[in-house]
Structure 1
Amino acid sequence: MADAETGREGCKECCSKEFQVSNFLLEYDKPHHFVEFQCGKQTPYLVWRVIWTVYHVIWIIITGVYSWQWAGPDPNQQVKWFIYLTDWCYFMLTLSTVLDLGAVIYARAKRSDICQGIASTIPWYFRCNWVIFNVANTCSVTVSLLYWGLLYSSSETMTAVNIETHALNAVYVIINLLVTGMPVRVLHFWHSVVYALVYVLFSLFYTIAGGTNHIDKNYVYSVLDWKGTPGFTTGISIAVIFVAMPLVHCVCFGIYRLRRVTCCYGDGHVVHNKETELAYKDNPSYTAD
């Protein structure tokens, strides 16, 4: 039985809700969760979003500026920053923090009905933010696991950029999942699956077109050698896309459920019904976009 004050639910009730067809899409009736901590604080959450946006924007710039550490002095090799999954995922993580901040600022400036918990429909820009959030979380953790499990060599020089993009990125994702009010849906696993599929297809066509990595090998990663070991590459690609990505997304969902169960805050403090929302729209200052 659900606890209305804490948001706690039994396993059976949780599963029945999570596997509804509507949860495959981007429907959510508590948009105020996108602009606050799970425990309901909004102003500190704005500060949290500013800090992490600045942090990730600075770091993604650093990853480009210091590309000489792995690509050497040749600008033609340094520009290959754009072919690596690590950088694709860190870009999505940075974009997610920027969109998170933008959503919070816009809601506080233009959508007080969201901040007050009156609105019960999620606007389109929150939906876009939600997709990027899901992709960034799953891909960041997955790419860190793949790096340490498949690519890392003890002979490799460990740099600050390596640590940031293959370890601290995942640490941030876990911490943020534990405190943000943003929801995670099991059935949203397909967001990261599509993203991973796009990258795998990119690596395939890049290799077929004669593209090389920063040391002029005819592949992006040694485990994605489409010309040398096509069978193995196909197998590892399928495993990552259709097994690893969904599993990591489920871990993210587990962290979300842990947060919901342990948090001291529920939705009892907000007015949350369709009639109130419609009445609020009669206010001349209301804008829904």
Structure 2
Amino acid sequence: MCKNVAIMPMKKNVDSAMQKSCKPAMLGRMWQASRRSLNLDHAPAHHFACSQWQSSPHPSTTYLIYRWLLFISVISTGIASFACQHLPRQYDGPIRELNYMKWFIYFTNWGYLLITLQSALALAVVIRYRSQKCNSTYEEDEIPIPLGRRVRTPLLCRAYWLSHNIATDLAFVISLVYWTLVHDPRIHEINAINVLVHGGNSLVMVIELLVTSHPVRAAHALYSAGAGLAYGVFSAFYWAVGGTDRIGLPAIYPVLDWNKPGSAFGFVSLCAVVMVFAHALATCVAAVRMRVALRLRARPHADRLALPTH
């Protein structure tokens, strides 16, 4: 009886000690899992240089041509958007000299600059990978890797992946917010440039999601939400130092008027939340693309392995 009484406190002490030791271990595992999901490492690296719909692990000539055409189209539209600035035709206020540098204060143009950046980085990745493959006698899977050493994704690929993720989410949110909350038919004209930067931006990134080969991680939504919050901070600072929009109003956008901080902060928070949902949509599109491509590749192999029916 005495032995049982003595054993009971010992068991309680052991259980409490195990619980205390398990908590730091669990937190450590959660931290490591969070770091892995947020990092920008992905293997194999040729996924950033190839299309999902090509069979070879080397960048194809067709994909290189696509990259050049996309980059030229995107940068041409951006230059036209910057060069063709003008006051609204319905503007009846005092005559103002147009400040072209105010093109950079608009969220739409931030998003379009990111689309241009990601298309330029994607082109650079393809060109670099093709040149490396031409000069190398090794296949990617044949390169010897020392045991215990983890090969990191090249910096160029990581920069492209980050810009691609943020540009995709910003494009979806910009198109949605502009046509639902910002567009005013009395002020904003519906012309080719306006449609391209507020609708063509999303179309370009949808095409990118369907063509590219690299995945989209759900945790990377934090980067896009951070970009949205960064613009909110910029707009508040721009207002605080007396900045105005292109026609002299104190708010860059009517819905982002920091003279009404409550509504402005609510709008920024809403955009950050919508950004997360936009990233979830991009993640689903990329997952469906990868699954469809795997099934299409598996079908010819299944046909070759099938037994004859005669």
2:33, 2:297 → 1: CA distance? 25
Q: Which residue is equivalent to 2:282?
A: 252
Is residue 177–residue 255 contact of structure 1 (8 Å, CA) maintained in 2?
A: yes
**SS of aligned partner of 2:99:** helix
Deviation at 1:260, TM superposition (A): 0.8
Instruction: Select 1:32's aligned residue among 41, 46, 53.
Output: 46
Which aligned runs of 4 or more in structure 1 are off by greater than 4 angstroms?
69-76, 111-117
* Alpha-carbon distance in structure 1 between the residues aligned to 2:285 and 2:102: 34
Aligned match of 2:206: 174
TM-score norm. by structure 2 comes to 0.74
Contact 1:189 1:249 in 2 (8 A): yes
Please state how far the C-alpha of 1:125 moved relative to its aligned partner: 1.1
Aligned to 1:93: 115
Partner residue, 2:18:
none
| Aligned match of 1:51 | 69
2:258 corresponding residue in structure 1: 226
2:167 is the alignment partner of 1:136? yes
Cα distance in 2 between the residues matched to 1:20 and 1:70: 51
8 Å contact kept, 1:49–1:101:
yes
Kindly indicate whether residue 222 of structure 2 is the aligned counterpart of residue 198 of structure 1.
no
Distance apart, 1:24 and its partner CA: 1.2
Q: Verify: 1:154 aligned to 2:168, yes or no.
A: no
Q: How many angstroms does 1:122 deviate by?
A: 1.6
TM-score normalised by structure 1 residue count:
0.79
- Work out whether residues 108 and 115 of structure 1, in 8 Å CA contact, stay in contact via their aligned partners in 2: no
Residues 97 and 116 (structure 1), Cα distance of their counterparts in 2 relative to 1, 3 Å cut: farther
Q: In structure 2, the residue corresponding to 1:68 is in which secondary structure?
A: coil
5+ residue gaps, structure 2, are 1-31, 144-150, 302-310
Distance in 2 between the 1:138 and 1:224 partners? 19
CA contact (8 A) 1:85 1:143 kept: yes
Aligned amino acid, residue 79 of structure 1: M
Q: Is the CA contact 1:177–1:256 (under 8 Å) kept in the aligned structure 2?
A: yes
Q: Structure 1 114/138 Cα, relative in aligned 2: closer, same or farther at 3 Å? A: farther
Q: Could you say what secondary structure the match of 1:39 adopts?
A: coil
Q: Is the 8 A contact 1:37 1:181 kept in 2?
A: yes
List alignment gaps of at least 5 residues for structure 1.
1-18, 270-289
Is residue 78 from structure 1 mapped to residue 100 from structure 2 by the alignment?
Answer: yes
Could you tell me which residue of structure 1 aligns to residue 249 of structure 2?
Answer: 217
CA-CA distance at 1:70 after TM superposition: 4.5
Q: Is 1:110 the equivalent of 2:132?
A: yes
Mapped contact 2:209–2:282 kept (Cα < 8 A): yes
Letter in 2 for 1:136: A
Q: What per-residue deviation string (whole Å, max 9, x for no partner) do you get for residues 157-183 of structure 1?
A: 211111000111101111110111122
Q: Which residue of 2 aligns with 1:61?
A: 79
Q: Is the Cα contact below 8 Å between 2:236 and 2:258 reproduced in 1?
A: yes
Structure of higher RCO (CA pairs closer than 8 Å, 6+ residues apart): 1
Equivalent position amino acid for 1:138 in 2: D
3-state SS of paired residue (2:128): helix
- Is the 8 Å Cα contact of residues 96 and 247 (structure 2) preserved in structure 1? no
Q: Distance in 2 between matches of 1:43 and 1:230?
A: 52
CA contact (8 A) 2:215 2:287 kept: no
Q: Percent identity?
A: 29
The letter for the 1-side match of 2:192 is A
Q: CA deviation at 1:56?
A: 0.6
Partner SS, residue 181 of structure 2? helix
Question: What is the one-letter code of the residue matched to 2:116?
Answer: T
Query: Once structures 1 and 2 are overlaid, which stretch shifts more, 229-238 or 72-81?
Result: 72-81
- Deviation string 1:82-101 (CA, Å, 9 cap, x unpaired) is 10000110011011101100
Counterpart amino acid of residue 147 in structure 1 = Y
Deviation at 1:110, TM superposition (A): 2.4
| 1:121 positional shift | 4.2
How far residue 79 of structure 1 moved from its aligned partner, in angstroms, is 2.2
Partners of 1:100 and 1:129 within 8 A in 2: yes
